[in-house]
Amino acid sequence: MKKIILHVDMDAFFASVEQVDNKSLRGKPVIVGGVSERGVVSTCSYEARKYGVSSAMPAFIARQKCPTGIFLPVRHNRYKEVSEKIFKIFREVTPLIEPLSIDEAYLDLSESTFKTGEEAAKYIKTRVYRELGLTLSIGISYNKFLAKLASDWNKPNGIKIIDENMLPDILFPLPIRRIHGLGKKACEKLNNMGIFKVEDLYKMDKEFFIKYLGKYGIEIYERIRGIDKREVKVSRDRKSVGKEKTLKSNTNNIDELKEYLIEFAKKINEILDKTDKSGRTITLKYKTGEFQNHTRSKTLSKYIKSFEDIYEVGCELLEETPIEEEIRLIGLSISSFREEKEVQLKLF
Ligand code: TTP
Ligand code: MG
């Protein structure tokens, strides 16, 4: 029997949490992140999206596009708290959950008491809305690729089912960048060869995929035919990789602290290389002389793993943090790991 897979993704997550916590923000263009002139937008409410604001946009552009936008600082701890409540509701539906990020997961209903994806999706939406006042979008299909594609279909607050009998028609008109696993570079190369839509790619034979898309070629070949054998990985995997140290003596000297970040970034990069991971949330942690713990995080629009990138974001976080008292411990970690390698088209 075919599996039932759900892909669930909260709508405008950080911005929606802000609107729930502060009634006066509802219905307004809320932009989270980008408070400082040099910052970037983390996300924004659908009201702000009408003005053309989007994630990872530099703040000054967002301000030009949406002068009435309400810019708010990122409150990572609060979003984390809400995320935990949402995942608790997911666990009422099935134990087979693969978290993808703070607001996104795959659910496999194989061991669920819910017999249809629609029932499960309605249950989740009702519970999340009643308890947290938030909406989410859910895609339902028989594999991960199609479920993820479906959750994006009617965003926000959507439910979309993709059945086998809808294929290949539903995929044909899509631009190839919608195919999970085809990275930006791969799409550019294919575009240069006159391939824009899934329908164009579908016409190519298996050899083409192997030749131009390397070791992921066959997966892409299958994917556009609606085949995706990836299991929902109930990960007991580490959710973050990090390093921390109690300082030799307490300090708030930025240059000294940066020395530690160099060491941490090197170590983190080594582990990421070994485990073939990259991440997009970097967290700086410190403990004051009074033993108070603080964390500051930054979620990027792209995944990183190199020493240079990790160190650079660590330094940014450090520089943006007003550390008045001397600190006794510092740490750096990376999380929000990428689900799998994106296809990097080989040079040809
Ligand atoms: P997304 O699910 O990609 O975006 P979203 O929930 O805000 O909006 P959508 O309705 O389109 O799903 O990301 C989840 C959260 O992760 C988002 O609320 C903020 C954070 N984030 C960043 O900080 N930077 C980014 O570039 C992106 C894409 C997300
Ligand atoms: Mg989301």
| In a shared domain, residues 246 and 340 | yes
Q: Is residue 161 part of a domain?
A: no
Percent of the chain with pLDDT strictly greater than 70: 96
Measure the CA–CA gap between 340 and 38, rounded to whole angstroms: 31
Give the structural domain span for 299.
240-347
Question: What pLDDT was estimated at residue 201?
Answer: 97
Structure tokens at 72: 């708010």
Tell which of 107, 141, 175 closes a domain. Answer: 141
- Please say if the pLDDT value at position 235 is more than 90: no
Task: Supply angle C-alpha 85, 87, 93, rounded to 5.
Answer: 115
pLDDT digits (tens, 9 = 90+) for 19-65: 999 999 999 999 999 887 778 999 999 999 999 999 999 999 999 99
| In a shared domain, residues 66 and 12 | yes
Three-state secondary structure call for residue 5: strand
Q: Is residue 86 part of a domain?
A: yes
| In a shared domain, residues 215 and 249 | no
- Please say if the pLDDT value at position 278 is more than 90: yes
**Cα-Cα-Cα-Cα dihedral sign, residues 184, 190, 194, 200:** negative
Known catalytic membership, residue 104: yes
Q: Is residue 162 part of a domain?
A: no
Counting the structural domains of the chain, the total is 3
| In a shared domain, residues 245 and 215 | no
Q: Is residue 158 part of a domain?
A: no
- Please say if the pLDDT value at position 314 is more than 70: yes
Residue closest by Cα to atom 10 of ligand 1: 11
| In a shared domain, residues 93 and 173 | no
Q: Is residue 150 part of a domain?
A: no
Give one DSSP letter per residue of 26-90, joined into a string. TTS-EEEE--STT-BEEEE-HHHHTTT--TT-BHHHHHHH-TT-EEE---HHHHHHHHHHHHHHH
The residues, ordered by sequence, that sit 6+ positions from 46 with a Cβ below 8 Å of its Cβ are 11, 12, 156
pLDDT digits (tens, 9 = 90+) for 155-204: 999 999 999 999 999 999 999 999 988 989 999 999 999 999 999 999 99
Q: Is residue 273 part of a domain?
A: yes
| In a shared domain, residues 219 and 244 | no
298 Cα: distance to centroid of ligand 1 (angstroms): 12
CATH number of the domain residue 183 falls in: 1.10.150.20
pTM here? 0.71
Choose the catalytic residue: 104, 131, 219, 340.
Answer: 104
* Annotated binding residue 9: yes
Tell which of 95, 125, 141 closes a domain. Answer: 141
101 Cα: distance to centroid of ligand 1 (angstroms): 9
- Please say if the pLDDT value at position 81 is more than 80: yes
Peptide bond into 173 cis (omega under 30): no
Note residues around ion ligand 2 (Cβ under 5 angstroms).
Answer: 9-10, 13, 103
